[in-house]
Amino acid sequence: MDSTCKVLAFSGSMRKDSFNTKLVRAAARGASAEGADVTVVELRSYPLPVFSEDLEASEGTPAAAVEIKELLKSHDAFLIASPEYNGSLTAALKNVIDWSSRKAPGEAPLACWRGKTAGLLATSPGALGGLRGLAHLRTILSGIGVMVIPDQRAMGGAMEAFDSEGRLIDEKERAAIEAIGAEVARTACLLNDGR
């Protein structure tokens, strides 16, 4: 694999000890094993106000929005683990998408999203594992030009799934999560090679 293929991994959680952040780190290991250059970030490092065109017009784009947009633009693919809040994705994740999808002067529309590849994951203490939220996230990302791989994983039982180091205990589950990371890396590199 071309080592220049870059994958950005993050969760939609703002919680310090997030199960979904642990999950996306497992997927990131799969992408790294496939040869991708992987960066893992946490959304709480990019505090943003709720998107508002009035705020954008009066104060400009917040520095954190510019920073995360540049990070998104500099990567070929994304691994996203999204907690499910009331049957959908988190407000924090949607807010990042909303701010980063704004077109800057001289920039192509959806510059940090269009033509990129993504893999989706979720975990929660409940049996469905966040599955309903992934359907909404897939729709949003597809609508802004992201090629979301068909395979995804929603893992229930999050409270018992990780060891004290934050690693998945079940070997079959770990392999399935890492396989999604590997598939995202392979797909992104194949698409890049074809451009």
The per-residue pLDDT for 1 is 45
How does residue 193 score in pLDDT terms, banded at 50, 70 and 90?
Answer: confident
The per-residue pLDDT for 191 is 86
Q: Are 134 and 20 in contact (CB under 8 A)?
A: no
Residue spans of the domains in the chain: they are: 6-193
**Does the domain formed by 6-193 have CATH 3.40.50.360?**
yes
Cα 19–Cα 25–Cα 29 angle in degrees, nearest 5: 150
How does residue 194 score in pLDDT terms, banded at 50, 70 and 90?
Answer: low
The per-residue pLDDT for 195 is 59
Report phi then psi at 77, rounded to 5.
-155, 165
| 121-128: average pLDDT | 94
Closest CA to 140 of 56, 184, 80: 80
Helical H segments across 9-157, by residue range: 19-33, 53-59, 63-73, 91-100, 131-143
The per-residue pLDDT for 2 is 44
Q: Is the pLDDT of residue 170 over 50?
A: yes
The per-residue pLDDT for 186 is 96
pLDDT digits (tens, 9 = 90+) for 8-57: 999 999 999 999 999 999 999 999 999 999 999 999 999 999 999 999 99
Q: Is the pLDDT of residue 86 over 60?
A: yes
Mean pLDDT rounded to a whole number for the chain: 95
pLDDT digits (tens, 9 = 90+) for 133-162: 999 999 999 999 999 999 999 999 999 999
In the structure encoding, which two tokens stand for residue 13, read together? 């959680």
